[in-house]
Amino acid sequence: MTDKFKLAIILGYFGLAFFATCAVVLIMIFRPDATATIIQFVGTVLGIASTGAVTFYMLGKQANQIAAVHTQVNGNLSKVTAERDSLQAQLLSVVGTSPAQQGASEV
């Protein structure tokens, strides 16, 4: 999935760059006085497009990493937390108070 998305981003960006280059050449031929304006505009558009492309691509990769972590954890963390709470409750029922509470009462 990400390879197709990456290819689409690359093709879209190069397509945009191609049309921008054609526009600059046409402006240089027909309106040489507006060359600086169109070059600045094309630079801005390509900069925004590349930033957006990288952002969307990295968001896709981050979603894949989150899915991988979710698959690896698969609810085990909640089981471990529940078991820890159960064991701590058993310990407190035997000991009576936690060591932190005993240290505070002795002072």
Kindly give the confidence (pLDDT) of every residue in the chain, 107 residues in length, as a single tens digit, with 9 standing for 90 and above: 567 777 887 888 888 889 988 988 998 899 889 888 888 988 898 888 888 888 888 887 888 788 777 766 666 677 788 888 898 888 888 877 666 665 555 55
List of residues 6+ apart from 42 with CB closer than 8 A? 20, 21, 23, 24
What pTM did the predictor assign?
A: 0.54
Q: Write down the pLDDT at residue 77.
A: 72
What total of structural domains would you count in the chain? 1
Domain range enclosing 45? 2-98
C-alpha dist (Å) from residue 106 to 30, 88, 94, 102 = 90, 22, 19, 6
Tell me whether residue 76 is in a domain. Answer: yes
Q: Write down the pLDDT at residue 29.
A: 92
Tell me whether residue 107 is in a domain. Answer: no
